[in-house]
A = this chain, B = another copy of it.
Amino acid sequence: MSEPRWLDATQQRDWRAYVDGSVRLNEIMDRDLKTRHGLSVSEYEILVRLSEAPDRRLRMAELAEHASQSRSRLSHTCSRLESKGLVRRDNCPNDKRGVFAHLTDEGYATLERAARDHVETVRNFFIDVVDPADLEAIGRAFTQVVKRIGAG
């Protein structure tokens, strides 16, 4: 095995700033959503994706993909959301294996309320503290990352 290509000092610094910042940022988002609306970030993410889908519904596999979650995790989380009345699941007529997850009206209402606070937090701790040009750089960079990961 050859010597690894270590990061240089600058790369190291930037990578670490990212790791550190993203963990802390996520923690803030999570706590904020949790205490104010009883939702975790990943539950919130699910509601968002459903709200944007045609008829506010998606097949489980698609939803898992959009929300960057494993199917198993989505299954469990959807069960919780369902028992809270925010999501409803029913069978897909075309494909008998399939299941649609629907956003309920209550789910939509909850999301609307949560989103108002959430956007404020996102601004407060991220958007408004980052230089707009740097924000664009972040967008570019992570788009690349997603592409790279998608490629396997």
Determine if B130 and A13 form an interchain contact, defined as CB atoms under 8 angstroms apart: no
The CA of A148 and the CA of B21, in the complex, are separated in Å by 10
Residues of B within 8 A of A10 (CB): 136, 139
B20 touches A139 (CB 8 A): no
User: At the interface, yes or no: A90 with Cβ under 8 Å from chain B?
Assistant: no
The verdict on A79 contacting chain B, using a C-beta distance below 8 Å, is no
Within A10-64, the residues touching B (CB, 8 Å) are 10-11, 13-15, 17-28, 45
B127 contacts A11, CB within 8 Å?
Answer: yes
Chain B residues with CB under 8 A of A91: none
Report A133 CB to chain B, min CB distance, Å: 7
Q: In chain B, what residue has the closest Cβ to A23?
A: B68
A4-B119, A5-B119, A126-B145 provided; 5 other pairs, C-beta below 8 A? Answer: A17-B140, A25-B149, A27-B68, A124-B148, A130-B144
- In the complex formed, the residue of B with least CB distance to A13 is B139
Please state if A28 and B149 are interface contacts (CB–CB under 8 Å): yes
Q: Of A25, A125, A142, A148, which is in contact with the most chain B CB atoms at under 10 Å from its CB?
A: A142
